[in-house]
Every structure is written in structure tokens, then in C-alpha cells.
Structure 1
């Protein structure tokens, strides 16, 4: 196998989805002298929004916060569908010229930091070819779940089912479910999106859940945005809507944490109002855990409740006893007829895209590191990763991380430093994983995740206003060790 000549850039971004494109745009705006490249394992820009093609795929955050801070979302729908978000990301990449910096089909397998050389050596696979690049700063924007494989639990006897079995992460373009009976196994954000979308053309859709989720109806069109659009200049309207929605999300989250019983009551009343009289809300929409112990599900204009009320969809809360050629048999003995089974059973975690990291020859065990400001790792130089909020829009945190990286790079340029390594002070101990949720996909891989400490900057508070103060206006050198690593001659073939 051939190995290409080594290429060098100042900042190498892994991933060309919502986070990676945003990071590249921030770097072009705030660090214009830095050369950049993006390595994308797939063949298109868009990340999650290019991968997921199941019916009804949409954001579960409003687009005033999921959109980029530097490029306001201008469409009417606050809760947008997947194709619209995908085009928004691609249009942003074209507008800022970062689409030309993306190298498609490059799956990063490993990265080694050398203090002697003062840079990362990054290895990737492109088809049958090994590709090597070097960079001053490595910025991983690949999310935290595995793109090539969704999670499916052990479902004994599923081979008995005669029809198609589909995981939403790998939706076939030729699947015809019109006029057919569908059973969707799952209760999370994907399931509550699929059920009303498929119910529009299927004969009937049943959502079979082992345990329920909290589901909250939100308006697809933001009524305040609709009232103010055209009356308030866009340069004021977008920041206002963004902060309005940030504060509402924080209110819901804090109320869930501080007054969980009150929040449960409000969610129960909201669901009861939108469901048929006599519907068993407590069984089907009353989880045993507190709100926001797992991610809450949002449904635009209550479409899931509408589908149930219209009789096009139903919800069964039970465990699976087995499968027949024609459907699913529950533990209580109920037979759920199906022509199509959809296993909306979750994700597999894959931190930093599964790449192997080493620092001066020593392997980095992610589970042994502490997360600095939720974006860098203790003892790992010139490295950042983007992991969004669990209780708010992903992009709110992604924007903060990208802007902080730009601040850090500019600080290093101004002071002559070439190496920045987060260093926890003595006595700092790990407390919880970086993704602090009790969801199955987190608990299944909890040992693989970086940990958090007890206080900032080693603690992530899931609080955007607080993080704005910390990351946009706070010091850039707190708990950070800087060095003037030796410069190395630029390699032939450098381009950015």
C-alpha cells in the first residue's frame, strides 16, 4: 500500500458536521493567518444531518440556538427538518469558503503528539491508502457516537420475524411502509420522531417501549419570532431569540433539578391535555427517573400526541417476550401485528471518533483524563474536542469551544508559546463522566469517557450563561501549562 507525502497545517479539524464546519468558520474569522484542513470520514458535509435519513428526522433543539451565532437561522420553522439543517450547514461552509478545506473519505485512526517536534502526527485511512498529516493543534469535532453502527440490544427470536427490520441510523431509501403495520421499538427522541411521521402513511404505528420518556410539546413556529419578524432588525432579533430560548431551556432544566416533582406534574398535565380522555398517562409518559436525568424528548406542535389521539398510532409499555413471523409478542401476552419492525434502540458511544491518542509515546486512556472546560483533556497538549450540551442545543457549546480555541491560539501566538497543556492542580479528583446523563448509551460506555472534577474549570455545569462568562470572558491561561516547544521546519507539500 502506498503512503502519501506528509502534509502540514496549523489546525487540523476532524469531522465536517455541524461542529466541524462551525469550528472552521470561527478559525477563518478569528485566526485568518492559521492554515486549516478538515478530515471527514464520510463523503459529504453534514455529519449527523447527512447520516440520518429516517422519516421525520428533525432537530430536537430550536434553530435559534442550534444555528451558528455568526450566521443566523432565517427560516420560519424553529424546529427544522433534517434536510433543511443539512443545507444550512453546507451553505455556511460555502459562504465561508471552508468547503474547499474538507478532505472526504479520510477516517482518522490515530494521532501522536511529539514534544520534541512540537506537533501532532495524524494518521488516516482513505480507501486502501494510508494518509499522514501533521498539525500544531488537533481539534476533534466528530461527536461522541459511532456513525457506522447503531445500538441494537439482544432481541432473542427476532430472526423469526418475516418482514424487514430497520435501525433508524441505517434507513434504506427503498423501504415502503405505506399502508403497512409498523412497530417502533424504543421511546427516545428518534422513536417519538418516527412514530408521527410514519403514521401519516402507514396503516398503523405502534411504539413499543420498555420504559417511557418525558415528552414535551413545543411550537414548531416560535410565536414571539413570528410576531417580531419584520418589526425588529435582524441584528437585534436573532440574539434576542437566541437568549430567550437559552433562558427558557435553563429554566426548565433548573426546575427539573430543583423541583422534580413539580416538573413531573407540569409534564403530566401537558400530556394529559393533548391525549384522549382516559389515556393512561402515568404508564406511558411517566418515567421512574426524574426529568433531565435522561434527555427530555420534544415534539413539535405535539405531533406524537396528535397521532395517538387520531388513532393512527398507539403506545404499548411492556417488555418483549418474543417475535413471530407477523409481529411482536409482549411479556403480558399481547400480540402486536407488524409488517415492518424499526429498532429505535439508541446509539453506540465512540469518543474522539475511535482514534488512538498518544503523547510522547504514552497511550492516552480517555477514561483516565479530566476534562478541562468540557473541551480539553488533562495532560494532552494542543488538543480540543467538541461535546455539546445535554440539556440545551449542541451548537451553543460548540460555538463556545471554537471561540475559546481561537482565543487560545491567538494568546499563544502573542506570547510565543507553542504548547498548551491543561494541568489540574493538586487535589483535583474525578467525580462524574463528561456526559452526565443516566441514558443507556452513556452508562454502556461510561468507562471510556473523560471525567469531570468538582469545580471550574474542571467541572461542566450544563449552564450556557455561566459558560459564556468562563469561556468567552474568563482567563485563557487558568490551570494551563505553556511551553515554547521547538519549531520544526515546514514540510514540503504544506498547504492550508
Structure 2
């Protein structure tokens, strides 16, 4: 067991070895080469989300030109990539940069305690059942936004009577054999629209059972313009040009969708109708009663979900579960869906700051009581950044800006001889929800998420360009960020 009286002191401790954590380490190595750091990863492998999820067909619904790192070109042909390819990309990035040598696997952070007297974090870590303590001057939380240990799991009447198998995508059983079997996938989000066409290749039939429709958009898995650019330019140049084109296009489309929701809805529904044919009931199954981007729009590469439906391999039912029976699910309408396997793709459970118990100078800190500063730091929480990506674009775009800001902040503090940085909440700022999404997983987390404010720098933009100017080029000493030396919290 480690000597707890003399724990090591790092300049930066990064929690999580997924997309965000590896990116944060890369920026730190490049821009603050003298800083000591370590990455703590609770699991046994690099990859985060992309190592955890192992369900059939697992893939990103963001293109890899923006989900990938700006500094590490995505060279594979497919823009919408599968989970194993993304995991390999993250791991290869870590190996190439030597970041993998800084990762400590099997280290789960359970507590983080800030001392203004020492201007330092004391981090409690569970390593194979043994308590270890690490000290760090700055804490970078790259542990994502949902619980790896729990998913949202509604309970249904009659489950005990069901003779088939009930599984959750987050905890996919590798021994599950669904070949030739009847499958019902409960849900209509990104996971469900991924599972249905993937399982339909082997199952007798797959039914997607949804309470309400979701906007589903077909996009090509490979971008022709990206292929042309790779022929004309060196790999890094082609990647950069492709990345910026995708960023600009996606932001323009989002702006149009939010400013002209009726038009956007009409176009998306018409796209589904073209995919499924004039006789298909698109109004019931693919026409939500909310505006586009009130919830996340689902992407299906090459229209694979629509193809499975057209071929009769899959179907969509819009109804509510009344109860499970021995042989399937009885719906509120009285219809019964026969099933051998039921997959509950019912959503994630949001967890902020990795669910770590945090104290500041001996007092418990709760994220829900705080306000988000530039979507990265929390009011009253010193020397700590929280990586939280976009809901309308690739996660990595915001993670990249956040990592760059940490380096700017650390360099500024070094130049000024400062040890503490903490954003202080202003009394004249009206609190607002951290996320404006109406999705169930967001609404369920209202008592967990922090707040945002009614004006800068407390607003959480879902806009890369606004964030780029605010985070990358905005002043560090903006009057809201308070600085101090060791001994007293400013």
C-alpha cells in the first residue's frame, strides 16, 4: 500500500483515457511541455465510450472529421466509423505521442479534496481495492457525462414472466445469440437506430418499439468530397480542409433548423418518406411532435435503418409498453409483439464530474449548485476543468477547445506567479438550465447538472465558432476568473 503521508504531487491530473483525456494530454505535452501529468483510467483499456460499448453495429453518429482530433488526421475512408475503428484511432494517437506511458489503468477516482492552504487537490483512488492518494495542482475531468456503472433502466410489469432474455446495450452480453430470433428494441435514440439494422442481418425480425418518433437523417458513410481532397492534397491538408468544410456546413444546417423549424421538419420528414416509400406511415413513425434539435437528430449511415425496413427485416411500432408477457410485450393498444430477445435501449444516466465526491476547503461541493463558466469550469470550484462536448455537433470540437484553454490558463498563472484560479458567480446573472434539450436523459438529470447563466461568460453555447472566439481568443483575466496565491481562496 502507498505511503499516504507522502503522496506524489503532479502539475495536472487527467481523469479518463477516452477521446477527451487523450486529447487533453496531447495539448498539455505540446503547449506546456514542462508540466508533469498522469491519466487515471478506471477501466483496463484506452477508449472510454468506444471501449465500453460492445453492442452490435456500435458506431458514432458524428463524422470522424470532427469527432477525430484536429492534430491527428482520420485517414480511413468512412466518415461514420464503427466503434472498434474509433477505439483503435484513440489508442494509436496515445501510442504515437507517448501518452500511453502516462496512463494508470484500473485507477478509479472516488474523492477529490481541494485545499486553498496548499493550493492543491488531494485525490483518492481505488486501485484494485486499495486506497491510493495522489496530489495535483490542477484537475482535468475528462470522464464524460454519463455513468459507466448504470444506465437508465425502467421497470416493466410482467418482466419475471418473460421467457426470453432482456439485455441493455451498455452491458451487452457477449454470449447472446440472436440469430434467427425475434428481437424487440425498446427505444428510438442513437443506440436503437444503430442496433436495429445491425441485428436485422442475423435475427428473424427486429422491431423498434418507440413511445414517440425521433428525427432520423440518412448520411453517406463516406464523403465524396473528402475522397477528392485526399487525391489533390497531402493528408494533413486534405483532413484540415475536410474538417472545416464539415464544421461550417453542420453549423449552417443547425442554424437553419433552429431559425426555420417548420421548414427543417418538412425536409427531414420528406427525406424519410423518400427512403421508405409513399405507402409507409411516416406521419406516425418518423414525424416527431417537437422541433428539430429540441432533441438530438439521429444519423443512419447510407440509410441502413430505412433499408432494413424496406427489406422487411425490421419494422417500427409506435406505442407504449403495458406489460411483458411470457412470449413478448403487450402494448397499450392491445397489440402483442412476440419476442425472444428484448433490448432496452432506454437511455443513459447522466453523471457530472465522474460522480466523484468533491470538497473545497472541507465543504462538500455539488455541481448542481454551481454555474458553468464558458461551459468548462464551475463557479466556486478552483483549478478544475470539466470537459463537456456539444449536443448538436461532435464532442471533440468542444473538448479540443477546452484542452487548449487549460494550457492557456496554466501558462498565464505561471507568468503571474499565481497558484489558484476560480470563477466566481455574479449575482446579477439569471440561472438557466445547463442544456436546453427536452430529451429524457437530460430532463432526468436536472438535479445533477450545473446551471448556465443568462449572459457571457456563463452561457453554454452550442456553437463552435462562438466558443472558439470566447475560449481560444478571449481574455484569461476577464474579471470573472479570480486568481490568488497559495494560502487563500480568492
Query: What's the TM-score once normalised by structure 1's chain length?
Result: 0.96
CA apart distance, 1:3: 6.0
* Alpha-carbon separation, structure 2, partners of 1:115 and 1:227: 55
Partner of 2:449: 449
2:464 pairs with 1:475 = no
Partner of 1:396: 397
CA apart distance, 1:270: 0.3
Q: Secondary structure at the match of 2:231?
A: coil
Check conservation: 2:42, 2:107, Cα contact below 8 A.
Answer: yes
Check conservation: 1:64, 1:242, Cα contact below 8 A.
Answer: yes
CA apart distance, 1:329: 1.1
* Alpha-carbon separation, structure 1, partners of 2:20 and 2:63: 16
Query: What's the TM-score once normalised by structure 2's chain length?
Result: 0.97
Moved more, 56-65 or 172-181: 172-181
Q: How does 1:45-444 map to 2 (within 5 A)?
A: 45-433=46-434, 435-444=435-444
CA apart distance, 1:470: 1.0
Q: Secondary structure at the match of 1:142?
A: coil
* Alpha-carbon separation, structure 2, partners of 1:440 and 1:475: 36
* Alpha-carbon separation, structure 1, partners of 2:104 and 2:357: 20
Moved more, 104-113 or 392-401: 104-113
Per-residue CA deviation, residues 201-260 of structure 1 (Å, 9 max, x unaligned), is 111100000111100001100111012212122232212111111122212221221111
CA apart distance, 1:482: 0.8
* Alpha-carbon separation, structure 2, partners of 1:269 and 1:19: 36
CA apart distance, 1:132: 0.6
Q: Quickly say closer, same or farther: Cα 1:418–1:209, change in 2 above 3 A.
A: same
Per-residue CA deviation, residues 59-78 of structure 1 (Å, 9 max, x unaligned), is 11000000001111111000
Number of equivalent positions: 486
* Alpha-carbon separation, structure 2, partners of 1:454 and 1:322: 44
Partner of 2:459: 459
Moved more, 17-26 or 151-160: 151-160
Give the ranges of 4+ consecutive aligned residues of structure 1 lying more than 3 Å apart after TM superposition: 1-5
2:16 pairs with 1:28 = no
Check conservation: 1:3, 1:129, Cα contact below 8 A.
Answer: no
CA apart distance, 1:404: 0.4
Q: Quickly say closer, same or farther: Cα 1:242–1:2, change in 2 above 3 A.
A: closer
CA apart distance, 1:425: 3.3
* Alpha-carbon separation, structure 1, partners of 2:52 and 2:427: 43
CA apart distance, 1:356: 1.2
Q: Secondary structure at the match of 1:384?
A: strand
* Alpha-carbon separation, structure 2, partners of 1:243 and 1:14: 29
* Alpha-carbon separation, structure 1, partners of 2:128 and 2:230: 48
Check conservation: 1:3, 1:130, Cα contact below 8 A.
Answer: no
- RMSD of the alignment, in Å? 1.3
* Alpha-carbon separation, structure 2, partners of 1:220 and 1:235: 21
Q: Secondary structure at the match of 2:385?
A: strand
| Unaligned runs of at least 5 residues, structure 2 | none
Q: Secondary structure at the match of 1:447?
A: coil
| Unaligned runs of at least 5 residues, structure 1 | 488-496
* Alpha-carbon separation, structure 1, partners of 2:354 and 2:225: 39
Check conservation: 2:229, 2:242, Cα contact below 8 A.
Answer: no
Check conservation: 2:376, 2:402, Cα contact below 8 A.
Answer: yes
* Alpha-carbon separation, structure 2, partners of 1:34 and 1:114: 20
Per-residue CA deviation, residues 129-175 of structure 1 (Å, 9 max, x unaligned), is 11111000001000110001111112111221111111000001111
Check conservation: 1:163, 1:341, Cα contact below 8 A.
Answer: yes
